[in-house]
Chain A
Amino acid sequence: MSVEKKVILIVDDDADFLAQMKFHIEKIGYHVDIAESQKEGEKYIEKHKPDLAIFDLMMENEDSGFILSYKIKKKYPDVPVIIATAVTSETGMVFGLNNKEERSWIKADLYLEKNLRPDQLQREISKLLKE
């Protein structure tokens, strides 16, 4: 009696982070597709529509995650996007998605720290998927 699993796309250039995310999210019960660069992510988006996407911020470009968010939102405006990154205020880059202005240029729904606990991650994902 299995319902078709929802698909989550994860794009990250850190192979270990990717492996761990895949491990955790599959355990929660989603299907996970992965891409290891902005370029691969773009290729994936051209052909497939995931139910939710998680992008790393710094890959080939410093703002790869933003570029991917922009592209996926243009093609599929209803797909929720999470930006996951290790970049925080201490590295001099401060941003969030707390006000309208920030949301207007960062085309993502949520911005998450990378060392998130799996249960927090699960909560955020199901919130975005309106489950």
Chain B
Amino acid sequence: MATLKVLVVDDEPGIRMGIQRILRNFCVSYPFMEEDFDFTTIEAETGELAIKIIDSEQIDIILLDNKLPGIEGIEVLDYIKQKNYNALVMMITSYASLELAVKATQRGAYNFVPKPFTPDELRAAMENITKKLFLQRMTEKMYTEGKQIRFQFLSVLSHELKSPINAIEGYLNIMKEKQVGNNIDDYQVMIVRSLERIKGMRNLIFDMLDLTRIESGKKKRTLSKVDLCEIANMAIDSIEPMAIQKNININRHFPEHVVFDADANEIEIIFNNLLSNAIKYNIENGHVDISIVQHSKSIVIVVEDTGIGMTADEIKSLFEDFMRIKNEKTKYITGSGLGLSITKKIVNLYNGDIQTRSIPGRGTKFTIKLPVKSSII
């Protein structure tokens, strides 16, 4: 139960007391609201006093008479609008005229209740204004939360881009000033490292594009019957050069065809991400095993490596944006920290599930389960 503060501004004590009595045991609930609302009332007999109260405490709803001894209700309304308070105002007045109603609405009043009113009329009006208030505040909240997440993402992103820029700039400055002498060979390490950091930035940008496409949902997904084995073979072919450098064997444990309703691009991203991790975090002369198995209700994809593995702690935050595991062994491995976050988001689109099992120093196994008759959004 949440309690809304109602300020009753009226010079007639009878009206103020009446409203207080009507609202005392009144409660508003809607199926879509998480909690019920009841009301506590504060009274003001003049517009001047009302302004003082509005300035000093958070008021949710204001029931405002127009005809007051000092300043008029309309002027209080102007003040609220000018100060940008987020209280909702309902005019209650016996001098109800169309002109006043229009004037009040223009100045931001939400509703208009003519005096005299019955308890039921007031309750109905209160129900309305409460619903409006709830929706308004929910919208605000969702808007700020959304903004905050975007902002966090951008600040991490700018940090991730600035580090390689600083590194490359630093090496170039050393070269520009010929700080290690005139022989280009002495700068070889710096050149290699600079190229490596540029590659990292490029991958980050590609991953970013994948991620925004998935999250915005703007890109049209084309679902058709795709052959998972064919896509896996393509992914293996394109990663092979990287595997050969470390003498890593990629073993295929899948039939010629396994067909699944999906967006081919998304499936490609899944295989590319899992495979490139399996190579990057593998040891020299290690191997990678990929299996694709069709069950009656699901398809299970497993990618297993003989790499450096992860601790239980490291696995916990593995699927977060920009998560990269930092230790002695991963020092020279570049990555955007987005690959697995993207993979998980795609798997979720298919109502699937991804599991991780890992032993430090032994290897990691990712298991993806995709339900066959998935209701794809």
B116 within 8 A of A: no
A86 and B163 alpha carbons, distance in the complex (Å): 7
CB distance from A37 to the nearest CB of B (A): 7
Complex Cα–Cα for A19 and B196 (A): 15
- CB pair B170–A91 under 8 Å, yes or no, is no
Interface range, A side: 20 to 34
* CB–CB B163/A14 < 8 A: yes
Q: Flag whether A46 is at the interface (Cβ < 8 A).
A: no
Kindly state the interface size class of chain B when it binds its partner.
20 to 34
Query: Which residues of B lie under 8 Å from residue A16 when comparing CB positions?
Result: 167, 170-171, 193, 197
Q: Which residues of A lie under 8 Å from residue B25 when comparing CB positions?
A: none
A14 and B158 CA atoms in complex are apart in Å by: 15
- What CA separation (Å) do A36 and B174 show in the bound complex? 22
Q: Are B158 and A115 in contact (CB under 8 A)?
A: no
User: For the complex, what is the distance from the CA of A92 to the CA of B149, rounded to whole Å?
Assistant: 13
Q: In whole angstroms, how far apart are the Cα atoms of A114 and B170 in the complex? A: 10
- Among residues 22 to 81 in chain A, which have CB atoms less than 8 Å away from a CB atom of chain B? 23, 27, 36-37, 58-60
CA distance A90 to B327 in the complex (A): 28
Question: A86 contacts B171, CB within 8 Å?
Answer: no
Complex Cα gap A58–B163 (Å): 11
CB atoms of A20 and B159 under 8 A apart: no
Which A residues are CB-close (under 8 A) to B174?
20, 23
Cβ contact of A59, chosen from B167, B197, B326, cutoff 8 A? B326
- Residues on A with C-beta less than 8 A from B179 are 23, 27
Show the binding face of A for B, using Cβ within 8 Å: 13-17, 19-20, 23, 27, 36-37, 58-60, 86-87, 90-93, 114-115
Which B residues contact A (CB, under 8 angstroms)?
151, 155, 158-159, 162-163, 166-167, 169-171, 174, 179, 193, 197, 326-328, 331-332
Known: A16-B171, A23-B179, A90-B158. 5 other contacts (CB 8 A): A16-B170, A16-B197, A19-B193, A27-B179, A92-B155
